[in-house]
Amino acid sequence: MSILNGLLGRIISSETLVEGVASVESALKLPENEIPLLHGLYGSSFSLLIAAWFSKHNKTALIVTADRESAITLADDLESWLGRDSIVYLPQQEVVAFDRNSPDAELVGAYLDGLHRIMSNEKLLVVTSLYGFRQRIIEPQRLKNSILTIAKDSRYDRDKLCEQLSIIGYSPVSMVTRTGEYARRGGLIDLFPPGENPVRIEFFDDEVLSMRKFNVESQRSLGKIDSIDVLPVSHMILDDDAVANALLRLEDSRDELSHGDIVDLEARFEERIHSAGLEAFMPWFATTATLNNYLPDSTPLFWRDPVQLSQQNNSLDDEIPRMRTARRNYDPLLPQPEKVVASAKDASAGMHHIAVAESWITGDKAGKWLGKTPQPFAAYETKTPGIIGGDTEKLVTELSKFEQTGYQTMLLCDNQGQADRLAELLLETPGNTAATLPVPGQISGGFIWPGAQIACITDHEFFERYHRPARTRFHGTAVVKESGTLKPGEYVVHIDYGV
C-alpha cells in the first residue's frame, strides 16, 4: 500500500470528506438527462474527491478529460491515492481516424488490456481522453473470443498459432522489441503481448515444454509461467469471416469505384496486414462498439472541464471529416465518419453525467456540453497553495498555521531522495516548529481544502520544478540489432539456438 493510499484511508475515516462525497452521490441521483456541475476543485483535489467517493461506494465510474496529457495526469493522481489495481487508463491512440498510418500496437494493446479488465466485472475507475472515449472499438464478445490462451504441456500447431497471432494484430519479426511483435526461431516462439515483458515459449514438436517471461534488453529470464492469455493488439480481428464481410461490402460498392481501386482494396483486405491505416475500414469487417458497451448500465460519467471538452470536441468534429476527405485521394470509398468515431452524445447515451471544473462562470456559453449547460450543484471552494519560490521559512510558517488550525497537512515529494533533502532543509530552517515532514507521494498539483481541512503541498510546485510523470506509460525499447555494435558479455538471441 502506498503512503498516499494510507493517508486517504485516514482522511476518509476522520470523516473530513463526508460532505464532499455525499454531494457526489446526491448528484448521481438526479435524472440522467441533467448535467450537474461540481466546481471549485483545484490542483489534485478532484482526484482526492473521486478516490474518496470510490473507496466509500465501490462503484465503477468513467472519467473523460479533454486530451491525452490531462488523462494521463489524472490517472497518475488516482493511482497515487488508490493504487494501480483500482484504476484503468485507456490510452488515446496517436493517430486520428482516417490517418494513412495504423495506430501503435502498444497503445492499442494497452487499451484492449484495459477493456479486458473492465469485462472482469471488477469495480474500477476508468480514465480516458475524449478521443479515446469517442473512437469505435471492438465488440466485447469479439474481444473475448479473440483472446488466445497458451498453457504449458498443451499442444499447438505452431504454424496455426503464428497465423492466429497475425490475425489478432501481431507482426512477425526476427527479434521482439516491443508490444505487438512475435518471433519464431526453431522450437521457440517469442511474443510480446500487452504488459511489461515479452514471453518465450519453448516447444518440443507441438507440445509446450516451458514458458517464461524475459527482459527484452538483457534477454534474461524473469521467471516461469504456466499459462498466458494473449490479448489482441488491434481492434480489427482479420479472420475469415471479417475479411469475407469486407469483401462483400466492397462487392456492393463496385459501381462507385474504378476497377483498379477494387483490385487494390481486395488485395489489401486479403493480405490481412494491420498497417497503412487499414483501421479506417473497420466497420466493413465487423460490427463495432463504444466504450459504453463495456460498462455497467447507468455508469457514472465524470466530464472533466466542460469548456476544454467542448473546444476539443469541436476540433475533432472538424478534423475527422478533413482527414477522411484527404484520405479519399488514395482510397476513394471510405466509411462515413460516424461509423468510425461516434459523437460524444451517442457514445455516452444512458450514462449518468456529472461535469467537473476548477472555476465556473454561470451562463458561459463556452461551457455548453452535449447541447446543455451544466448546472452548478456543489461548490467545493478549494484553492491552490501558492507557496512557491523555495522559501523554506515561508513554508514552515504556513505548515505551522495549518497544523494549529486542525488541518490534515501533507507535504509530498516525487521520490524518497527529494523527501529526505527537503526534510533536511526544513530542520535547518530557524524557528521551525512544524511537525509535518515531507513524504514521497506523486500528485500533479497541491491544494488547500478549507471545508475538509486538508492542506496538500507538493515539492515540485514549491521549488517551481518540472513535475515528472509517475511513470513512463508507453515507450519503445532500444535493442542492439547490428552485430558490429555488440560488446563482450552482452546477451544475444541466436536465430537457431536462443540466448
DSSP string, 121-147: T---EEEEEHHHHHB-EE-HHHHHHHP
Among the residue ranges 301-315, 332-346, 380-394, the one predicted with the least confidence is 380-394
User: According to the model, what pLDDT value does residue 482 have?
Assistant: 36
pLDDT tops 90 at residue 276: no
User: According to the model, what pLDDT value does residue 14 have?
Assistant: 65
Among the residue ranges 22-26, 125-129, 209-213, 428-432, the one predicted with the least confidence is 428-432
Let me know how many helices (H) and strands (E) the chain has, helices first: 17, 21
**Residue 468 pairs with which residues in a beta bridge?**
none
Closest alpha carbon to 232 in 145, 302, 304, 173: 145
Question: pLDDT per residue over 181-229, tens digit each?
Answer: 999 998 999 999 998 899 999 999 999 999 999 999 888 999 999 999 9
CA distance 176 to 160: 19
pLDDT tops 60 at residue 291: yes
CA distance 88 to 71: 11
Among the residue ranges 39-48, 114-123, 355-364, 488-497, the one predicted with the least confidence is 488-497
CA distance 431 to 428: 9
Cell of 84: 494501480
pTM of the predicted protein model:
0.91
pLDDT tops 80 at residue 483: no
Q: Could you tell me where the DSSP H helices lie in 405-485?
A: 416-427, 459-462
Q: Give the percent of the chain with pLDDT over 70.
A: 93
User: According to the model, what pLDDT value does residue 473 have?
Assistant: 53
pLDDT tops 90 at residue 480: no
pLDDT tops 80 at residue 4: no
pLDDT tops 50 at residue 63: yes
Under 8 Å between Cβ of 168 and 476: no
CA distance 432 to 434: 6
Residue that is written with C-alpha cell 519479426 in the block: 173
Among the residue ranges 3-12, 433-442, 447-456, the one predicted with the least confidence is 3-12
The pLDDT of 120-136, averaged and rounded, is: 95
Among the residue ranges 169-173, 215-219, 381-385, 444-448, the one predicted with the least confidence is 215-219
CA distance 199 to 189: 8
Lateral strand order in the sheet of 181-185: 171-172, 181-185, 188-191, 199-204, 207-214, 221-225
CA distance 183 to 291: 32
Return mean pLDDT, the chain: 90
Q: State the Cα angle at 389 between 383 and 392, rounded to 5°.
A: 95
pLDDT tops 60 at residue 388: yes
The pLDDT of 454-459, averaged and rounded, is: 94
Half-sphere exposure of 53 (CA within 13 A, CB side): 24
Closest alpha carbon to 39 in 445, 374, 378: 378
Question: pLDDT per residue over 141-154, tens digit each?
Answer: 999 999 999 999 99
User: According to the model, what pLDDT value does residue 485 have?
Assistant: 39
CA distance 282 to 288: 8
The pLDDT of 85-112, averaged and rounded, is: 95
Cell of 39: 466546481
CA distance 59 to 282: 32
User: According to the model, what pLDDT value does residue 478 have?
Assistant: 37
